[in-house]
Structure formats: structure tokens, C-alpha cells
Amino acid sequence: MTRVDEKLGRALARRRTVGTLRTLQVPDEGAPLAVDFYSNDYLGFARSQPLKELVKKRQDELQGQHMATLGATGSRLISGNSRLFMETEKSLATFYNSEAALLFNSGYAANVGVMSCVPQAEDVILYDELVHNSCHEGIRLSRAYANDRSFSFRHNDLEDLERKLQNYSSSNGVDALQPCVYVVVESLYSMDGDFAPLDAMAALCEKTDAFLIVDEAHSTGVYGPQGSGAVRELGLEKKYKNAIVCRVHTFGKAMGCHGAVVCGSQVLIDYLVNYARSFIYTTAFPFDQLVSVISVHQFCATSAAEILRSHVIELVQYFKRKISHTPSIPCKALLASDSPIQGVVFEGNHRVLRASQQMNAMGIRVIPIRSPTVPKGAERFRIVIHADNTRDEVDRLVERSWCHVRSPS
């Protein structure tokens, strides 16, 4: 063992001691009664046979038309671009009601790309304290961060946001050389399952001449017309057209595939092509992935997808009614969420890990969320309700499993 291995091993040992060591696990797909309450596949698209058939059909249709290769062969600025890419982005701009759109290899790459290059050295970034890690990473790479001009505000706290906007906004809206203030939020938060007050935030941005960047990772597919996100559900892309400067929609969650798209003005998209390093310096994603993105958006517009969206919301309400009548689960342990992201708080990393292991052993798959991912004392296992879950499965989740995890030991 080298000195490097010894040093890294000590870091791993420290994590093991405090119960935060991560390891890769392979789900036992053959386990009896194994039920998915942990993946981000909110609508069951990733397992949908009709969608798989649509993807195969579209692959066959497009294969000959576009001289498809196994891999993209390079970045989109070298050899990886194609007419199919350009047509897909035009279609996505229409789907998300945006002037233009740009595909990225993942939601992580999209957030890092946007946050790292859009804010300039003189600009200010105000970000919700609970935004995705990829937003934090992008902000840390920005010139605004290098100049100590990035600040968090308390989660979903409009008063705190307004105070900071008043401190940093120019509010004249005239001089393009004036510093810009960017407000970075998620539309739906992945750990607490709560929504940002987008309408009020956009109004504040408009009032103070600030600009809102919305990460729609967990709302895409489930909310809005044909699953086009929470901003569109509220009609804010039209109501606050000048205040909402950018939306990031990812495809690895409810959309059931992979990749992401940034929606905004044509100037923004052209700027990202020139300055977003996570776009410029990576191989474009392959033909099969592009066809999956095309197909899933086509499927989102069908009545079958609308039924799934309605069903998952109905199941969420059923779960909340069921668990609220379970005396062994105190109300304060439940997340105040009306979205498919639910959870039960079990204080302590070791305790929440044991609780989730008990549930997984029973074929109820949930994931422990430990500190520091969530604040110490707010550890929980995260429950995700899916459109392809059934009421019987929800009943098992509530009635058969909680008795094994309510003990504080």
C-alpha cells in the first residue's frame, strides 16, 4: 500500500466511523416483493414498455436518414454535431416555450456550465442554500465567486431574498454594463420535496431588475403542460419573460433517459456555446441517447403520459392520507411535501441507515439520506412515489414497514 493509499484510507475510515461512508450497491432485482420507492423515475418512463417500443421505432426511422454512428466521434464544435441535434433543440425550445435551447450531456454538466460562465466578475449570485451540488460547483467556478460576490439565502425565504436583493440590485434596468444579480433556485427540491415560491421570486426579480435561473430537474415531466415544468405550469415564462433568464430541464429523472437542456434566449445559447466549458470540452452524446430524448418528449404529449402524471399525484395524496393515520409515525417526522418526493425523518446517520436496511430487507426499497447531505438531526429516508406504484404497494410501505423502523435504538 502506498502512502497515497494510506492517506486516502484514513479519510474513508473517518467516514465509516461517523456513518457517512458511501458504497456502490447492486439492487437484488429478483428479491420477492421488491418495490421501488427510491428511484427518480417518477412516471415509470425508464421501465415503460410502450416508451421502449417508441424509442426503437424512432431509432429505426432515423437511422438511415442521419447516417447514425455508434458514438458522436467528438464534441459538437468539432465532429459531434448533426442536423438531428439542431432539429431536436429547435423542437425542445418549442416544447418548453423558449426562444432557444441547448443540449448538455447531463443536468450536472448543464448547471456547472451555466453557473460557471454566465455571471461575470462584477455580477452577484444569490442562491438558495439547498440548490443542487452542481449549482454550487458551477458557482464556485464563476468569476463572481472569485470576487466574493456569491451569497446564499435561507431556503425559500422571500424576506431574506428581498433583503439581499435590495442590498445588491441596481434596479435601474438601463445600463447593460451595470452588474447583474442572478437568483438561483430549484423549482422542486430533491431532499424536502417542497416547491420554490416561483411566482413571488420572479416578481421580486422583476421589481429589483434581477434575473432568475431555475433548475427544473425534479419538476420536468411531472408538472406543467405535457410535463414541461413548474415555470410553465404557472405561466411564468410569459408573465416574467425578462426576469426568468434561464431554465435547466434534465432528462434523468421523470423523463427516464439521460441528458439535459438549457432554455433561454438565443443570445444566452450562443454565449454558452462559446463559454460553457462543460459543453465545449466534452464529446457529444450518441445517436441512441438523442433518439431517446426525442422519443420521451413525443411520449410526454400523449394521453397515456397525462394519465401517468395524474396518477402519481393521486398516489401521493393517498400516501399522505394513509400515513397521517398511522399513530406510530409522528407528524413532525413527515416532510411537508405534496410532491412525489416524500420522506420520514430519523435523527442520526446510524439510525436512518439501519431503518432503511430493515425496509430494504422486506423488499421496500428506500434510500437513507444522511448528514452532511441534509443538516445534522434531519436525517431521513427519502421516499419517492411513482406512477407505476399501486395502492397495495403504498399500503405495504405504510402498514407493514413502519413498525420495524419506529424504534429509536
**Residue 39: band (very low, low, confident or very high) from pLDDT cuts 50, 70, 90:** very high
The HSE-up count of residue 334 (CA atoms within 13 Å, CB side) is 19
Per-residue pLDDT of 158-214, as tens digits, reads 999 999 999 987 655 556 668 999 999 999 999 999 999 999 999 999 999 999 999
Per-residue pLDDT of 279-324, as tens digits, reads 999 999 999 999 999 999 999 999 999 999 999 999 999 999 998 8
**Residue 409: band (very low, low, confident or very high) from pLDDT cuts 50, 70, 90:** very low
**Residue 406 pLDDT greater than 70, yes or no:** no
User: CA-CA distance, 197 to 178, in Å (whole number)?
Assistant: 27
Q: What angle do CA 75, 125, 274 make, to 5 degrees?
A: 25
Per-residue pLDDT of 87-117, as tens digits, reads 999 999 999 999 999 999 999 999 999 999 9
- Single pTM value for the model: 0.92
> 14 is written with which cell numbers?
473517518
Mean pLDDT of 60-68: 79
Looking at 336-345, 366-375, 381-390, which range is the least confident one? Answer: 366-375
Q: What angle do CA 349, 350, 351 make, to 5 degrees?
A: 95
* Grid-cell match 452532511, residue found: 372
Looking at 41-50, 211-220, 263-272, 344-353, which range is the least confident one? Answer: 344-353
Q: How many CB atoms lie within 10 A of CB 182?
A: 25
Query: Residue 30's pLDDT is what?
Result: 56
User: CA-CA distance, 69 to 310, in Å (whole number)?
Assistant: 38
Q: Which residue has the higher pLDDT, 4 or 348?
A: 4
Spell out the SS3 assignment of 341-376.
EEEEECCCHHHHHHHHHHHHHCCEECEEECCCCCCC
**Residue 80 pLDDT greater than 90, yes or no:** yes
For the chain, report the end-to-end CA distance as a whole number of angstroms: 38
Helix (H, G, I), strand (E, B) or coil at 125: strand
Mean pLDDT of 339-360: 87
Q: Is 185 left (phi over 0), alpha (psi -120 to 50) or beta?
A: beta
> 40 is written with which cell numbers?
427518480
Instruction: Give the containing element (helix H, strand E) for 312.
Output: helix 303-324
User: CA-CA distance, 116 to 273, in Å (whole number)?
Assistant: 13
Query: Residue 301's pLDDT is what?
Result: 95
Catalogue all structural domains in the chain, each as residue range(s) with its CATH number.
31-48+303-404 (3.90.1150.10), 66-300 (3.40.640.10)
* Cα-to-chain-centroid distance, residue 153: 20
Per-residue pLDDT of 133-166, as tens digits, reads 999 999 999 999 999 999 999 999 999 999 999 9
Q: Which residue has the higher pLDDT, 31 or 378?
A: 378
* Strands lying side by side in the sheet with 181-186: 100-104, 260-264, 244-250, 211-215, 181-186, 124-128, 150-153
**Residue 27: band (very low, low, confident or very high) from pLDDT cuts 50, 70, 90:** confident
Query: Residue 31's pLDDT is what?
Result: 57
